[in-house]
Structure 1
Amino acid sequence: MDIARHIALIDELCHRPFPAGHGPSEVGAGAPGHFTAVLETSHGLRAGRPAERAVAVEQAEKERDALHELLAVRRGEEGDVLNLQTVLLRTAGEEIPEPWAGLSVSARVAYLWEARGTGRWIALAVADRDETEEVRLLAVVTGQAPP
């Protein structure tokens, strides 16, 4: 993992204009009001191999935590923790805006910061809910406040 590169990308996304439409971007995906950057991804863990998948999840969580620590120091605050499992449950009965609804389908928890002076939020999460997908370390930058 290249922490400096990941931090630079997150900083850039805090200032880059959001795309006009939905679609892939050079960092992951973009949509009106948010970017989802794939910082790290596992390889070959889409089907089966639960023991290897568990190791990949643990590694992604360690990388997320290392980024969390650095962002906390840089931003002068620990940031908040958003329980995405609760957000996922809420989607059954209420309209949860993107990117939060989609992130809750992919990940269980996100670390959050408000990027001061930009009107944007930063979220770090490990996408591991769907065992047919690779394990991914995600950074989401959005203008939509967390639910």
Structure 2
Amino acid sequence: MTTAQHLAVIERLRVRAFPAERGPSEVGTSGPGYHLAELPGADGLGDGGFRDDGGFRDDGAYSAADADQSAAEHTALTEILTARFGEPRYISLWSALIRGGEGEEIPEPWRELSSGVRWLRLWRTGDRWLAVGLAGGTGDQRFRLVAAVTETDPP
């Protein structure tokens, strides 16, 4: 998938209505007040997707070249979004992961994102938030570019 295709997916999610119940979409998962998407890389990989429990599936090991490619795709996408929407906030989801593990209710999509994404670029676009980050990259998990559109404020 190219950067232009990533942008097209994000634009569709930005204007799409949110469903009444959580369920799969053609690019990831949607639920009340949010859409999550995994954006496949230029190599077509990256469709590990979201598990039913909200974590990320992974479909195998990755190489240093794969990590570099994922980082480059992330950079290209965030540069275009920054030109379009202004400077993003740079937020950590580490505390949401810890607080959720201690029993605090973390709203979606932030709970799902915190299970695999540690840092996000975040823009306010009208009445919605747009978040882009890299999931994975630990152990045998390869990096995956993910995007979220939500009306729920970050935790």
Question: TM-score under structure 1 normalisation?
Answer: 0.83
Provide closer, same or farther for how the CA distance between residues 20 and 130 of structure 1 changes in structure 2, counting only shifts above 3 A.
farther
Provide closer, same or farther for how the CA distance between residues 104 and 17 of structure 1 changes in structure 2, counting only shifts above 3 A.
same
Check conservation: 2:136, 2:143, Cα contact below 8 A.
Answer: yes
Percentage of pairs with the same residue: 40
Check conservation: 2:67, 2:142, Cα contact below 8 A.
Answer: no
The alpha-carbon deviation at position 46 of structure 1 amounts to: 3.3
Check conservation: 1:106, 1:130, Cα contact below 8 A.
Answer: no
Unaligned regions of 5+ residues in structure 1, if any?
A: none
The alpha-carbon deviation at position 95 of structure 1 amounts to: 2.1
1:87 aligned partner: 96
Partners of 2:120 and 2:37 in 1: CA distance = 14
1:113 aligned partner: 123
1:46 aligned partner: 59
**Equivalent position SS for 1:108:** strand
Unaligned regions of 5+ residues in structure 2, if any?
A: 49-57
Per-residue CA deviation, residues 3-37 of structure 1 (Å, 9 max, x unaligned), is 12211221221111011211111111111111111
Partners of 2:34 and 2:141 in 1: CA distance = 21
Partners of 1:9 and 1:80 in 2: CA distance = 21
1:29 aligned partner: 29
Check conservation: 1:126, 1:136, Cα contact below 8 A.
Answer: yes
1:63 aligned partner: 73
Per-residue CA deviation, residues 21-64 of structure 1 (Å, 9 max, x unaligned), is 111111111111111111114479634x46x2x44233222211
2:8 aligned partner: 8
Check conservation: 1:36, 1:139, Cα contact below 8 A.
Answer: yes
Question: TM-score under structure 2 normalisation?
Answer: 0.79
Partners of 2:37 and 2:59 in 1: CA distance = 19
Provide closer, same or farther for how the CA distance between residues 86 and 59 of structure 1 changes in structure 2, counting only shifts above 3 A.
farther
Provide closer, same or farther for how the CA distance between residues 114 and 135 of structure 1 changes in structure 2, counting only shifts above 3 A.
same
Provide closer, same or farther for how the CA distance between residues 129 and 20 of structure 1 changes in structure 2, counting only shifts above 3 A.
farther
Aligned residues: 141
The alpha-carbon deviation at position 131 of structure 1 amounts to: 5.3
